[in-house]
Amino acid sequence: AQSVTQLDSQVPVFEEAPVELRCNYSSSVSVYLFWYVQYPNQGLQLLLKYLSGSTLVESINGFEAEFNKSQTSFHLRKPSVHISDTAEYFCAVRLESSGSRLTFGEGTQLTVNP
Amino acid sequence: KAGVTQTPRYLIKTRGQQVTLSCSPISGHRSVSWYQQTPGQGLQFLFEYFSETQRNKGNFPGRFSGRQFSNSRSEMNVSTLELGDSALYLCASSKGGAYNEQFFGPGTRLTVL
């Protein structure tokens, strides 16, 4: 069975500082990888995904993540955060054979302070 | 294009009652998945329906059930409610392929008293 570990439950940073949210997964088969963001009282929004091809994927709002197969990691980074990036971030994996089923990590609360 | 809608948004029930939650997927999407989100257990997969058939099921007791209609709308039912069923229930829809993105609804907040 696959599992996802987000290594930090809370990450406080100052505005304009860089940030890295860490995600490791375990699976005996190939997986697809995702980062979702959840703002208070809302559902989940897809931030970015790795399906195949280039191991570095980027979102439209400045986040990027790199798939590292040897380290089974998919860390999320942003070089300069804004107050509006304050939210909870979830890493998730999906098996090719499991339809749409996602397995989520525990989540990382990112708080950006002025 | 309208997003995924869930009704009701908030619900309060008492122990022992049953509840039905509804999810309307994005037009053209044939897959609907349900997740339970709690502070203690995080996001857990309940089940997925694709073209009216349950395609995947998580590790929840039989009190949790679901169905999907021919228009792809889905309902989930929880019978004999327990305090621990208090959670945010999220529905997600997609076209159903492994490469397809899942779009989440805003969720139904269920409180069991």
Tokens of B63: 């009190």
Tell which wins on pLDDT, A100 or B71.
B71
Q: How many CB atoms lie within 10 A of CB B70?
A: 7
Is B61 within 8 Å of B54 (Cβ atoms)?
A: no
Nearest residue in chain B measured CA to CA from A5: B42
| Residue A89 CB partners (closer than 8 Å, separation 6+) | A6, A21, A35, A36, A37, A38, A47, A76, A107, A108, A109, A110
How confident is the prediction for chain B on average, in pLDDT? 95
Check residue B74 and give its pLDDT. 98
| Closest in A100, A105, A107 to B102, CB measured | A100
Q: Nearest by CB to A42, which of B42, B98, B106?
A: B106
Q: Which chain A residues are within 8 Å of B106, Cβ to Cβ?
A: 41-43
- pLDDT, residue A58, reads 86
Q: How far is B8 from chain A (nearest CA, A)?
A: 14
Chain A residue with the nearest C-alpha to that of B30? A100
Nearest-CA neighbor of A26 among A47, A5, A9, A46? A5
Q: What pLDDT is attached to residue A33?
A: 92
Q: Which tens digits make up the pLDDT trace of A52-101?
A: 888 888 887 899 999 998 889 999 999 999 999 999 999 999 987 777 88
Query: For position B1, what pLDDT does the model report?
Result: 66
| B105/A43 Cβ within 8 A | yes
B3-42 tens-digit pLDDT: 999 999 999 999 999 999 999 999 999 999 999 999 989 9
pLDDT of res. B48: 95
> How far is A13 from chain B, CA to nearest CA, in Å?
23
Res B87: pLDDT: 97
Distance from C-alpha of B107 to C-alpha of B90, rounded to nearest angstrom: 4
Q: Residue B1 in contact with residue B103, Cβ under 8 Å?
A: no
Cβ partners under 8 Å of residue A61, min gap 6: none
* Percent of chain A topping pLDDT 70: 100
